[in-house]
Structures are given as C-alpha cells and as structure tokens.
Amino acid sequence: MKKRILVTCAFPYANGSLHIGHFLEHIQADIWVRYKKMRGHEVWFICADDAHGTPIMLKSQSLKMSPESFISDIYKDHVNDLEKFNINYDNYYSTHSSENSYFLKKIYHILDKKGLIQTRNIFQLFDNTKRVFLPDRFVKGACPICHTKDQYGDHCEVCGSSYSAVELIKPVSMLSGNCPILKKSLHFFFNLPYFESMLRSWVMSGVLQASVVKKLDEWFKLGLREWDISRDSPYFGFNIPGFLDKYFYVWLDAPIGYISTFKNLCTQRNNLNFLDFWKKNSECELYQFIGKDIVYFHSLFWPSILEASNFRKPTKIFVHGHVTINGLKLSKSRGDCILAKNWIKNLDSDSLRYYYASKLSSKIQDIEVNAKHFLYKINSDVVNKIVNLASRVSSFINIYFNNELSSRIDDLALYKRFVTSSSYIEKMLENCEFNSAISMVISLADIANSYVDNKKPWNLTKNIKNSNTLHDICTTVLNLFRILMTWLKPVMPDLAKNSEKFLNIKLEWANICIPLLNHKISIFKALRHRIEDKQIKFLLPNNFE
C-alpha cells in the first residue's frame, strides 16, 4: 500500500561547515528516502539549519558580522555541500524563519495556558571576565553522573546523560579559561515530569531501537526533571513574549523547526496539506534520523512538546552512532575534522555513500573511517565486482550484436535466484540494515562474476556457431548487473545514472523480475574509476582540514 511519509534529519548547527560525520546521517536518511520512493511511496524529505544560540552569536561577533548575515553565509555553504553529496531534500530551510517564530510562540502559549511552564529564579554559570552567561557548549567539566572529565555543559558524550551545566564537576569557561561564577536570573521551565506515563508507553510502542529503549529506562529510573527553556540576553534567537531580555533556548525552537520547515514546503507545493502530516492521529508517517548524542531531546522533550500542543508524534526515530577518526568523534568544535568539501575536492560522493552504507546497521555503533579500508571497499567491491561485471561482457554486445540484447536468458535459474534475493534486500533497506543489504549484493556480484569465469565468453568469439550462446550469456550478465544496480541505486545515484545511460533504461524496482531482452544498449564507457592512493592522502592523520 502506498504510504505518505515525512522524513527529517537532525538540523546541523549553523556555526561552521559540515564534516563527513554529519554526512553519515544525511546519507543514511537519503538512501532510505530514495529506496522508499523507488518502492512507490510518497516521501517528503526535509532538514534545516539550526541557526540560533550563543555559540552563533559569539562566532558572528568574532567575525565582526551580524548573526543574520553569518547564518546566511553558512546556509549557502551547507546547501552547496549537501547538493554535492546528492542529498535530495525537498526543503532545506532555517530555524531563523517567520514560520518557526510563529509555531514556537503558538506552542509556547499553549504550554503556558495549560500550566506547563513555570518561572523561578535560578543560579547559572556566568563568565565574569566576558560578562556573559555561559552556553552549554562553552563550559566543560566532569559529568555529574559518570564523572568522565572534559564533558560539555548539556550532556555527557560517554554515558549519554543530559544535565544542567551547573551540575558539572569543576566547570571551566571555554571563553576565558576561568572558573565561572553562579549568577541569579529568572528562568522558564517546562514540566517534563508531567509526561512520564505518556512517554513510558510511547517508548514501548516500537518507535525506538532496543538499546535506546534501555537507555530511556535508565533515565526514567533517575527521574525526569523540569527543562529550562529560556536563556538570558545577550542571545541570538526568538524573544519570549513580554520579556525583553529573555529568549527561548535554541533547543526549544530547533525541533519546532521540523514543523515549520514542512509548513514552508507546503507553501511551495499545491498538493501538500500541512495538517495531513502534523495533526494528532495523522495517518501519514513521520521518520526522524538523529545521532546518539541528541536522543534525550528527541525522545523525551520533543514528544512531550508535541503531545502538549496537540501535534502528532514520530512513527519512528532512527538513531545512529558517530563517525570517528582514531576513536574520537569527528567534530567541528574539536580539531579532528574532515570537511565535506575537502572530501569532494579529492574524491566523489558515491564512494562515501557506499562506504557508510556498507557499515551502517540498525545498531547504534560508531563508524571508524579508515582510509585503507575505504580504498579497498570501493576498488574491490564497486569497481572490481560491480562495474567490472558490465565491462567484461559489454564489448561483445557492442561489437558482435549491434548493441542489441538477445531474446533469452542463458541461465534462468541464476536470474531467478537474483530476483528472489530481492525480498531480503528490501527488508534490510527498509530496516536500515544497509550493511546486510550490501553484503548480499556483493555476494551475488561474486556469483555473477563466477558465472562469467565459468562460461568464458571470450572463447566463444572464435566460432560463429557459438554466437547465439555468446549473445545469451552476455545478455544474462547485463541483466544481473541491472538488478545489482537497481538495488544499489539509492546508495550510489551517480553510478546508477551512468548505468542507466549505458543500459538505456531507468532502473526501477518493479522491473527486477522482468528480464531486459531484445533491447538496444549504449556503447560501454567506464562507469566509475578506481580510487588512487594519492586521493586518500588527506584522510591520513595529520592531514585533516
């Protein structure tokens, strides 16, 4: 049955260029979206820049720019990189938008009216040298839960707990290097504990991977706490109505950006109705891809806000691990960073997409980028096994058969074996078990190559009597190649495009079971190149940018 699906990725923070760690998520979601579209579903894919908060304000100040023009430059930079990796968003927007301000204030009024917001004076970390309240990312200390040193003020990257910066053990301001003081200020709190029983049953309804459910259980045991949704001036964000020097915390307006980005898309498309997707009990599906570092926000605060304001909740949240280099999370705030644009300068987008797909599963595991392993995977799997399969037989079709495929498949059993494997690959793609799908594709490519090795078509050119057999064998191989490339189309759109040009067809899921016969193909041209050693030099330690 055709489904109507909205898919989101977590919003990149607009304080710098995207690195290949960010692309794990965009690529994972884009593969899934392309797959679902190929299966005939109506899929809308959205994302936006997360454009508010103190870090952006401080960065724009240091560059002597207004925050508005700073985020506008970053926006262009992000969109440019996303396009280079073939991430096919229907709308890539910004949280600094009129729609987001509208929904944020609307939701705030509903929460306030329902008595879910309370104000009280609290003490916060204040950098007395720089005269600012410290944002979470500008203070570090030991995690109050697991005691790991060097953690940010909002959550611990080791145990995943979320906490308030004042709870950090031995905090240090990253702006001045001094120990911050505690300063009193009026803050606004959202009553998260009120939603505990709703959250407990929502969490158990299959929306999250098993290990995330386990993590949430730990958080429930520790007890849910009220959430501070306000920040003091100076701040770059949306003002709290009636309080000139108070702003909404960026983490409140960022997820509301999912709603406003879709609303903005609706204004661009006639056939799209906002409430169809966002009303309570909507029959449309909402799939959200996020990293493991932001589970707390998306699995506790976000569904509670949606519940309170009468919007639908996500159908499923897919959580992924982090891309690491030498075991450390790739991060724009830290030194170890491979920028996406640097990747594109040296390599191509399909290669990163394939590499990630070959490692991604539904388990929340970190993915270590290893240059040598990457080179091996692309050259051995994609070039030697997939592309080579087509190149091994295409010249025969081009030279001896006027570019025309024959009227029959030589090995129907083999062809059928490929067709029946499709249901396994479908299941794996559907469940984001991309590594299993890729393993199956590659083992079938091995079988197809063994078939060529056994049939030795190059020996059949010597005798004209063999011509029908040669024709049927080459046609079989190109049909197997066509199936392999149909499965890989969501993963490697550039290679798929070149394969479509070569085969002179559109690669469609529905055609997997129908052999391509009596059909004219094009002259074979290299569909993609091998990766040379010199191209991966920038991935080796000490060469990061």
Ligand X SMILES: Nc1ncnc2c1ncn2[C@@H]1O[C@H](COP(=O)(O)OP(=O)(O)OP(=O)(O)O)[C@@H](O)[C@H]1O
Q: Which chain residues interact with ligand X by CB under 6 A?
A: 10, 12-13, 21-22, 24-25, 290-291, 293-294, 322-323, 329-333
Tell me which of 122, 142, 159, 192 binds Zn ion, using CB under 5 A. Answer: 159
Kindly state the smallest distance separating residue 333's Cβ from ligand X, in Å. 4
290's contact among ligand X, Zn ion, none, with CB below 5 to 8 A by partner kind, is ligand X
> Among 73, 118, 146, 513, which residue interacts with Zn ion (rule: CB under 5 A)?
146
Secondary structure of residue 39 in the 3-state scheme: coil
How far the first Cα of the chain sits from its last, in Å, is 47
Q: Which stretch binds Zn ion (CB under 5 A): 66-74, 153-161, 281-289, 444-452?
A: 153-161
Q: Cα–Cα distance between 167 and 185 in angstroms, integer?
A: 17
- 13 versus 311: smaller Cβ distance to ligand X: 13
Least distance in angstroms from the C-beta of 322 to ligand X? 4
Residue 168 makes contact with Zn ion by CB under 5 A: no
Indicate the residue among 340 and 470 with the shorter CB distance to ligand X.
Answer: 340
The two tokens of residue 449 are 């190559």
Nearest distance in Å: CB 337, ligand X: 7
Interface with Zn ion, residue 142, by CB under 5 A: no
* Long-range contacts of the stretch 129-133 (C-beta < 8 A, 24+): 129/173, 129/175, 129/176, 129/178, 130/173, 130/175, 130/176, 132/54, 132/58, 132/175, 132/234, 133/54, 133/183, 133/185, 133/231, 133/232
121 sits in which H/E element: strand 117-127
Contact range with Zn ion by CB under 5 A, out of 139-147, 213-221, 372-380, 453-461: 139-147
CA distance 344 to 341: 5
Nearer to Zn ion, 218 or 430 (CB): 218
Q: Which is nearer to ligand X, 272 or 352 (CB)?
A: 352
Cβ-contact 348, 315 below 8 angstroms: no
Q: Residue 64 contacts by C-beta under 8 Å, 6 or more apart in sequence?
A: none
Question: How far is Cα 425 from Cα 512, in angstroms, rounded to an integer?
Answer: 12
Residue span binding Zn ion (CB under 5 A) among the ranges 69-77, 154-162, 225-233, 446-454: 154-162
Q: Which does 31 bind (CB under 5 to 8 A by kind): ligand X, Zn ion, none?
A: none
CB of 148 or CB of 267, closer to Zn ion: 148
Q: Which is nearer to ligand X, 51 or 503 (CB)?
A: 51
Mention every residue, 6+ apart, whose C-beta is less than 8 A from residue 265: 44, 46, 90, 91, 93, 272
CB of 144 to Zn ion, least distance (A): 8
In whole angstroms, give the CA distance from residue 289 to residue 356. 15
Which entry of ligand X, Zn ion, none binds 156, CB below 5 to 8 A by partner kind?
Zn ion
> DSSP assignment, residue 201?
H
Q: What whole-number distance in Å separates Cα of residue 155 and Cα of residue 164?
A: 8
Q: Is 145 in the site for Zn ion (CB under 5 A)?
A: yes
Return binding residues for Zn(2+).
143, 146, 156, 159
The CB-of-21 to ligand X minimum distance in angstroms stands at: 2
Question: Binding partner of residue 139 among Zn ion, ligand X, none, CB under 5 to 8 Å per kind?
Answer: none
Q: Which CB sits closer to ligand X, 8 or 421?
A: 8
- In the complex, least distance from residue 447 CB atom to ligand X, rounded to whole angstroms: 34
User: Which lies closer to ligand X via its Cβ, residue 267 or residue 333?
Assistant: 333
Q: If we measure between CA atoms, which residue out of 92, 86, 81 comes closest to residue 10?
A: 92
Tell me the binding residues. Answer: 143, 146, 156, 159, 332
The CA R_g of the chain, rounded to the nearest whole Å, is 26
Detail the residues annotated as belonging to a binding site for ATP.
332
Choose the one of Zn ion, ligand X, none that binds residue 13, judging by a C-beta under 5 to 8 angstroms depending on kind: ligand X
Rounded to 5°, angle at Cα 77 from 74 and 79: 110
C-alpha 296/C-alpha 469 separation (Å) is 61
**Judged by CB under 5 A, does residue 156 bind Zn ion?**
yes
